[in-house]
Structure 1
Amino acid sequence: MNREQTAQRKPASDDARVLRSRGLLQDAILKLGQEGPVDGIAISDITQRAGVSRSTFYDHYTDKETLLADAIDRHALDAGVSLRTEGLDEGLPGQPPQFLVDYLQHIADHAQLYRNVLGAHGSAAVHARLARSIATILVEGIGLLGQHAPVESPVPAAVDAAALAGAILAVITYWLEQLPQTPTPDVAEWIWEIITRE
């Protein structure tokens, strides 16, 4: 069995050397992702930029897609932003929640990276992971909202959430590529309108 056929991500570890190596690899692919299309990044580019060997790369990851998805996750967490259902337990707010505005601002602050990652020459793995994260949050939100105002629907919540997640990512990608001058609060309003539309 070759390395590409093994698990996508190697087991996590708190070992300082492991964390340092993963950090170097994640920093390297983020910098490369800011510079150009991510589908053109080779593993040798990543290891050279990180200053580690190819075998070190394979000690931690089996492919660059999973590395990039992990790096994007860490990048957002390091900035103190995340998507969550915070505030929905009181019912649906009339305006976009602050965590959504903050997350979109993080994307705007690193627009070229996200443009390269989510665009036509970007990463399917990152796109899929973001879609899953958004859909999970939406399912949780639909559940919380249903406690306040139950709505009968023939569409399962998970299906509805998956459709909305796709729409949200499409809005973000279009914003980055076609309307980059649009202020973040406006984009949050677009997304909130899509989510809350009857």
Structure 2
Amino acid sequence: MATSRASSTPASGDRRVRRTQAALARALLRLVEEQDLSRITVADVAELAGVSRSTFYDHYRDVHELAEAACTAMIDNLIEALPGDFDVADPAEEATQSLEAFFASLAEHAGLYRALLGPQGSARVADHIRHRSTVAIQERLREAVEGAGVPERARAVLELPLDVPAAFTAGALIGVAAEWLRGGCPRSPAEMAALTWPLFHSLYRIEATPPS
């Protein structure tokens, strides 16, 4: 019995940690909808999450660190909304829908993203988004290259190391998203998707050609 309890304790502890961190993140996201991130205190978050301040400090140094953790966790989910491929076989409707989901997710928590991606934002979050986006786009580009013959007009781009166009695209996407958030999301997610997808498509268009 003692062995069983000892072996189950870490998993139980991990679940408690995850529940507490999730509660703190939910509280922060609710608060940031009502006021600027810079005005939110540890006491505000702890009270709304139903935990003590000491419990908060068991997990995070301050509100900014919690915000970074919440933002980077959501980014990992947002990246999955990016278009699946960059070739003409990928239907434009499907691609724009995935980009619309990406921008809609940003808009849902615009206050948090605006604070962390703005001029006085978090370098850690920006680097995380840039890295995760680059890796995801690089994988999609590689899949497109391996699954299609490459026409002459696309060869110049595809002869570059794949991380170059991927990093270029990731940086551009971050720039567009940050400027959109900074301006108060003046265009709808659907409009942003419709404007963004042609840029992706024109730069990375890879037409399938029969193998020789």
User: Is the TM-score greater than 0.5?
Assistant: yes
Runs of 4+ in 1 over 6 A off after TM superposition: 11-14
Contact 2:87 2:201 in 1 (8 A): no
Q: Hey, what does 1:177 align to over in structure 2?
A: 182
1:165 maps to 2:170: yes
What's the TM-score, normalizing by structure 1?
A: 0.71
Task: Find the aligned partners of 1:140 and 1:14 in 2 and give their Cα distance.
Answer: 35
After the TM superposition, which residues 8-87 of structure 1 pair with which residues of structure 2 at under 5 Å, given as runs?
15-39=14-38, 41-62=40-61, 64-72=63-71, 82-83=79-80, 87=84
Identity %: 31
What's the TM-score, normalizing by structure 2?
A: 0.67
Contact 2:25 2:70 in 1 (8 A): yes
Which of 85, 89, 99 is matched with 1:88 structurally? 85
What letter is aligned with 2:116? V
Task: Find the aligned partners of 1:17 and 1:119 in 2 and give their Cα distance.
Answer: 33
Q: Hey, what does 1:145 align to over in structure 2?
A: 144
What letter is aligned with 1:195? F
What letter is aligned with 1:173? A
| Deviation readout 1:39-83 (Å, 9 max, x if unpaired) | 554544433443323432343345545532432355578xx8652
Contact 1:34 1:116 in 2 (8 A): no
What letter is aligned with 2:176? V
SS of equivalent to 2:80? coil
Q: Hey, what does 2:199 align to over in structure 1?
A: 194
Q: Which has the higher contact order (CA 8 A, sep 6+)?
A: 2
Residue 13 (structure 1) shift: 7.1
* Larger deviation, residues 176-185 vs 131-140: 176-185
Contact 1:43 1:64 in 2 (8 A): yes
After the TM superposition, which residues 94-173 of structure 1 pair with which residues of structure 2 at under 5 Å, given as runs?
95=92, 96-147=95-146, 148-150=148-150, 151-153=155-157, 155-173=160-178
Give the alignment's Cα RMSD to 1 decimal: 3.4
Residue 143 (structure 1) shift: 0.4
Task: Find the aligned partners of 1:53 and 1:130 in 2 and give their Cα distance.
Answer: 31
